[in-house]
Structure 1
Amino acid sequence: MDEELSVWLSGAAGCLALGFGIYKARWVMKCDPGDAHLKEIGAAVREGAHAFLYREYRVLAIFVIVVAVILSLTYQAEQRLVALSFAVGAMCSAIAGYVGMIIATAANMRTTQAARTSLNEALLVAFSGGTVMGMSVVGLGLVGLSGLLLAYTGQFGFDIPALTETVLPVLSGFAMGASSIALFARVGGGIFTKAADVGADLVGKVEAGIPEDSPRNPATIADNVGDNVGDVAGMGADLFESYVGSIIGAMVLGAAAGSVELVLFPLILAGTGILFSIMGTFLVKTREGGNPQTALNAGTLGAAFVMILCTLPLVMFLIPESFTLDDTSYQRFGVFGAVVVGLVAGVFIGLLTEYYTAESRGPARRIAQQSQTGAATNIIAGLGVGMVSTCLPVVCLIGAVLAAYHFAGLYGIAIAALGMLATTGIQLAVDAYGPIADNAGGLAEMCELPPEVRGRTDKLDSVGNTTAAIGKGFAIGSAALTALALFAAFRQQTNLTGIDVTKPSVTAGLFLGAMLPYLFSAFAMGAVGRAAFKMIEEVRRQFREIPGILEGTGRPDYARCVDIATKAAIREMAVPALLGILTPIAIGLLGGAEMLGGLLVGTTASGVMLALFMSNAGGAWDNAKKHIEADNYGGKNSEAHKAAVIGDTVGDPFKDTAGPSLNILIKLMSVVALVIAPLLV
């Protein structure tokens, strides 16, 4: 196939995703937003989320401009175009997060209103809102990459020397821009949402004894805002980074194999995944009394299954019969095997995460049982679940890496990562559905709607908790494979034949890299603690000083809580984010490529373990609390429930701030290393 035509087709697939996202956004906006009270509260959440992103993006705009200027001054001649790629990648990531968040906040109240009618109507609205996020991510990712690739190859050529020496090193700046925005968005959004959540839970539920999402709680609006800026915009930026990072990593390794076809195949594979993601969205529907989880599984698994079937003819048509990488020859069927390995590994990691965190499964129920003897035993049980939950997902990753390498070498590992992410459009739609359903339930509680409405939103929310947990596991697995692909690309760019761990400099880099995820998590957890302290003090103050709040006759100052969370998030997100950006630059320039390689190995291994532990422990604590709230072990307001709320509060920054942010840390450090590779040769 003609090279330019292949890139144009992938860009067209990205445009199709954006067009479908626009169609879904317009459909959501046409849905009934509800009565005046529902629209008032929904508008407050929407305005709070918009205000936070506006302030966050103002800070990030300055950061992007400064880094782009530094890159343009650091590199020489045509390599300066890396600054343009960086700026475009950052802009595409920011736009995807903003669009997804805006539609999600519009879908919240419309999902609540649709729940007055039927479960299926509410499911369709919530999932359509999530679909806008998913399609924005894959659409902007492919359009941005394809557009830059066409521009650069038009200037420098489409032959292997031009791709290896100029085009792909410059294009890697796109992934760096996406990674930088993702880390700030994930950390900032995570600090915001957990500061509000912790304040709302500890003062409202534990001290005052009022229900979750009660309009009497001043932190409730901030909590709902946080769901959107953290779990919608933040997760979107996270997977945007994985998506483009896996594509670029595979392209670099394809160039190392000396094949233009291998360079272009990741773009075509990603474009095909968009088509099947769109098709999968039409399978998501249920009936009254049905299980929304079954409907969502039909969409995601259906898209993955068809993707496997159609990958084989793509490989037969696009990949040369054999190719050589690192002096080893591989057959084109091995590329198909690597794609299948990535898809299957992603499914298994998601299922394992669901097992360790779901309310209906043994691990979460054992934590609930341990809550009967207090918060200490609850926390001990949760820590144990988080630790043991690292084992089987890592075994899956090991199997995926070994199998993919056997099939197609380092290129196979990169393609496995992309195979796992090929249907990101629908996977992210399912993940973004969760916070929308959660907010819909909160709005139903705050508007005091009939019990059957809250019953439907609770059913959607319970499924959303599972999809969120699966999404976090999937994000960690894809991050691990993407980081390995980027590391392999870094090795090719710096001509490293291996890393000798007996060298003191490499050992130092290895230990430093293994330590960084812990230091990063400490900064993130500390930021949540400081922000939550201010939130708790503010909620207590309002309970003391505003007459009639607890009786329901006084109106809380919701805006003050939103402002506290916003200021804390903007102020606190800088240090952990800059840690991930500056460390690989400093180690690479001072210690060289081999020491930087040791750093990346240590960060990847340590970061994946810690991310799995924190995300799964937090999810299990959350669902242990929900199991007790379903009239088990004394139900709500029992001693076991109070202990479970404390455990859930400890787990909140685990699963929604530090844990998910580690995915981005390990990818960001690898992509920064790839960008500075030309300076280290």
Structure 2
Amino acid sequence: MGGATLLSDLGTEIVIPICALIGIAFAALQWLLVSKVKLSTAAASKNGITDPLVEEEDGVADHSVVRKCADIQAAISEGATSFLVTEYQYVGIFMIAFAILIFLFLGSVEGFSTDSQPCTYDKTKVCKPALATAVFSTISFLLGAITSVVSGFLGMKIATYANARTTLEARKGVGKAFIIAFRSGAVMGFLLAANGLLVLYIAINLFKLYYGDDWQGLFESITGYGLGGSSMALFGRVGGGIYTKAADVGADLVGKVEQNIPEDDPRNPAVIADNVGDNVGDIAGMGSDLFGSYAESSCAALVVASISSFGINHDLTAILYPLLISSIGILVCLLTTLFATDFFEVKVVKEIEPALKKQLIISTIFMTLGIAIVSWIALPSSFTIFNFGEQKVVKNWQLFLCVAVGLWAGLIIGFVTEYYTSNAYSPVQDVADSCRTGAATNVIFGLALGYKSVIIPIFAIAISIFVSFSFAAMYGIAVAALGLLSTIATGLAIDAYGPISDNAGGIAEMAGMSHSIRERTDALDAAGNTTAAIGKVIFLVSSDLSIFTLEKYA
């Protein structure tokens, strides 16, 4: 069962790489806009003493502040680069060793046979030998691992490039600082989404030169791409996370507890390590982690689709439906970003958090429309999906609902998380109030609140799985996970915005800037912490759904 789609295979092969390249170009544009804020005192003063980048609020130029910011930024960047380079040396050893194991285990399934075998989904067809699967799975694993490492490293670089610039822009107002921090986060978000999509698309087309009509073998080999991304995320997220928490606690202990000096005080040498930790853990580690989720979701959907009527009928447009969703997601996130940086202006502190939350709402609404369009033009009106030994008939509107359910469930989960983590609502205020009776009651109250906060998210996930499976079996769950990640560029921009703002506050303190500047950067950081929690939950849920799909398929 199947039918023609409105979007041709040639159109699909053009649309996907074009959207990826647009995402990369937009990231480059945002980086250029951030780079207009100069850290060099020579560049900052080339227009005379009235250059706004080197003016304090009283109108007096202070070139020494710019120099201090530049020096502090250089120290943070050097520390973060040193950590990642050292970490990636160990990661490289693991990457090579694990790639060898993948090749040996997959190749030994049929004794490293070079003979073709009957396909499991259609015994009348011939599939490529096990040795080919081992070779191409190993290659895709290495591609995913390298892309994950590059995503994390590039994210760290833009974060350390933008933190001091955010500090200097805070001197002109909280709105200017917000734009720089958000644009910097957008660079990381769009680079990760676009690079991940482009590398995966290129790999599929290169593998197709060998596999030909054996689409099941092709997409089974492609699953290594998601495995590679997730494997590297283990090092980036856990290694970077442990470093950042150890550095943060160490800085607080030696500063606040032992020496009774403020947080980020320049007399505390551990402050640099604390700021380095924000970049290697919450930026580089998060980038690698989210790339793993992104790759897993895409690969899970492609593998399940390969044994549907899409794969049997060699309908390229329909089988690449998951990549088309990611492609339209880049365009939606691009438009959404303009709302934060160009269409609306943040003028006061209380507008920061609503501006970030509007990003999530606007991107979700636009993405729903985008998914509807893609489902209409890229899918036949009806098709069949593999369902545990049987073929299930699915309508294109049912698959659209699967993606949309995942998308909106993510938003609901995110806002429930925001309710329980924002200081604007009673849960956090009650936790703070419980401190009056001691640490014990504070810990107990916090634990109880944590248990309570997961009730609605669990029901949202369960309903999403039930609805998606009812409509389109395991493929429905796979695309629901992809729906959660369809706006990853916006989510990651918001997530990276927080550590950049946190670094900006530390630089302002260490550079000896006025208290009003630190208040602005702290306001940026506080809003970022709340909205970042929304994004983290969405990405974690999507990763779990993708792993669940692959396990059931296997």
The normalised TM-score by structure 1 is 0.69
| Structure 1 residues 206 and 373: alpha-carbon distance in aligned structure 2, compared to 1, 3 A threshold | farther
Residue matched to 1:295: 355
Query: Take 1:141 and 1:4, find their aligned partners in 2: how far apart are those partners?
Result: 21
Query: Take 1:340 and 1:238, find their aligned partners in 2: how far apart are those partners?
Result: 23
Residue matched to 1:122: 177
Deviations 1:582-641 (A, max 9, x none): xxxxxxxxxxxxxxxxxxxxxxxxxxxxxxxxxxxxxxxxxxxxxxxxxxxxxxxxxxxx
Residue matched to 2:215: 163
Query: Take 1:86 and 1:11, find their aligned partners in 2: how far apart are those partners?
Result: 21
From 419, 426, 435, the counterpart of 1:371: 435
**Residues 1:134 and 2:189 aligned together:** yes
Equivalences for residues 300-319 of structure 1 within 5 A:
300-319=360-379
Supply the AA of the counterpart residue of 2:324: I
From 322, 332, 338, the counterpart of 2:382: 322
Cα contact 2:147–2:195 (8 A) shared by 1: yes
Q: Could you say what secondary structure the match of 1:323 adopts?
A: strand
Residue matched to 1:96: 151
Cα contact 1:252–1:263 (8 A) shared by 2: no
Query: Take 2:346 and 2:428, find their aligned partners in 1: how far apart are those partners?
Result: 28
* Aligned-residue offset at 1:479: 2.1
Supply the AA of the counterpart residue of 1:317: I
Cα contact 1:196–1:219 (8 A) shared by 2: yes
Q: Could you say what secondary structure the match of 2:384 adopts?
A: strand
Q: Could you say what secondary structure the match of 2:182 adopts?
A: helix
**Residues 1:78 and 2:132 aligned together:** yes
Deviations 1:387-413 (A, max 9, x none): 222211111101111111222221111
* Aligned-residue offset at 1:121: 1.0
Supply the AA of the counterpart residue of 1:297: K
Supply the AA of the counterpart residue of 1:213: D
Q: Could you say what secondary structure the match of 2:405 adopts?
A: helix
Equivalences for residues 55-454 of structure 1 within 5 A:
55-74=86-105, 75=107, 76=112, 77-79=131-133, 80-157=135-212, 159=213, 162-164=214-216, 166-259=217-310, 260=315, 261-285=317-341, 286-289=345-348, 291-325=351-385, 326=387, 327=390, 328-454=392-518
Cα contact 1:231–1:432 (8 A) shared by 2: yes
From 472, 478, 489, the counterpart of 2:553: 489
Deviations 1:560-589 (A, max 9, x none): xxxxxxxxxxxxxxxxxxxxxxxxxxxxxx
Cα contact 1:14–1:271 (8 A) shared by 2: yes
Specify every segment of 5 or more residues in structure 1 that has no aligned partner in the other structure, as ranges.
491-681
Q: Could you say what secondary structure the match of 1:448 adopts?
A: coil
Residue matched to 1:11: 17
Cα contact 1:49–1:229 (8 A) shared by 2: yes
Residue matched to 2:81: 50
* Aligned-residue offset at 1:85: 0.6
Deviations 1:424-469 (A, max 9, x none): 0111001100100111111111112112211211111110111221
Instruction: Please tell me the root mean square deviation across aligned C-alpha atoms, in Å.
Output: 1.5
Query: Take 2:9 and 2:103, find their aligned partners in 1: how far apart are those partners?
Result: 29
Residue matched to 1:24: 30
* Aligned-residue offset at 1:338: 0.9
Query: Take 2:372 and 2:263, find their aligned partners in 1: how far apart are those partners?
Result: 50
Query: Take 1:335 and 1:21, find their aligned partners in 2: how far apart are those partners?
Result: 31
Query: Take 2:140 and 2:11, find their aligned partners in 1: how far apart are those partners?
Result: 22
Supply the AA of the counterpart residue of 2:499: P
Query: Take 2:183 and 2:553, find their aligned partners in 1: how far apart are those partners?
Result: 36
Q: Could you say what secondary structure the match of 1:330 adopts?
A: strand
Tell me which moved more, 418-427 or 282-291: 282-291
Cα contact 2:498–2:528 (8 A) shared by 1: yes
Query: Take 2:506 and 2:14, find their aligned partners in 1: how far apart are those partners?
Result: 44
Deviations 1:25-80 (A, max 9, x none): 23222312361111111111111001111111111112112222333333242111
Query: Take 1:457 and 1:485, find their aligned partners in 2: how far apart are those partners?
Result: 42
Query: Take 1:288 and 1:6, find their aligned partners in 2: how far apart are those partners?
Result: 42
* Aligned-residue offset at 1:282: 0.6
Query: Take 1:357 and 1:350, find their aligned partners in 2: how far apart are those partners?
Result: 10
Equivalences for residues 518-533 of structure 1 within 5 A:
none
Query: Take 2:550 and 2:503, find their aligned partners in 1: how far apart are those partners?
Result: 36
Moved over 6 A (4+): none
Cα contact 2:233–2:288 (8 A) shared by 1: yes
Query: Take 1:287 and 1:143, find their aligned partners in 2: how far apart are those partners?
Result: 34
Query: Take 2:88 and 2:515, find their aligned partners in 1: how far apart are those partners?
Result: 39
Cα contact 1:134–1:424 (8 A) shared by 2: yes
Deviations 1:484-541 (A, max 9, x none): 2222332xxxxxxxxxxxxxxxxxxxxxxxxxxxxxxxxxxxxxxxxxxxxxxxxxxx
Cα contact 2:162–2:184 (8 A) shared by 1: yes
Cα contact 1:8–1:146 (8 A) shared by 2: no
Supply the AA of the counterpart residue of 1:309: L
The normalised TM-score by structure 2 is 0.85
Query: Take 1:5 and 1:155, find their aligned partners in 2: how far apart are those partners?
Result: 22
* Aligned-residue offset at 1:280: 0.9
Equivalences for residues 648-659 of structure 1 within 5 A:
none
Cα contact 2:293–2:542 (8 A) shared by 1: yes
Query: Take 2:426 and 2:544, find their aligned partners in 1: how far apart are those partners?
Result: 27
| Structure 1 residues 191 and 398: alpha-carbon distance in aligned structure 2, compared to 1, 3 A threshold | same
Tell me which moved more, 385-394 or 85-94: 385-394
Cα contact 1:181–1:237 (8 A) shared by 2: yes
Percent identity, aligned pairs only, is 41
Query: Take 1:466 and 1:182, find their aligned partners in 2: how far apart are those partners?
Result: 23
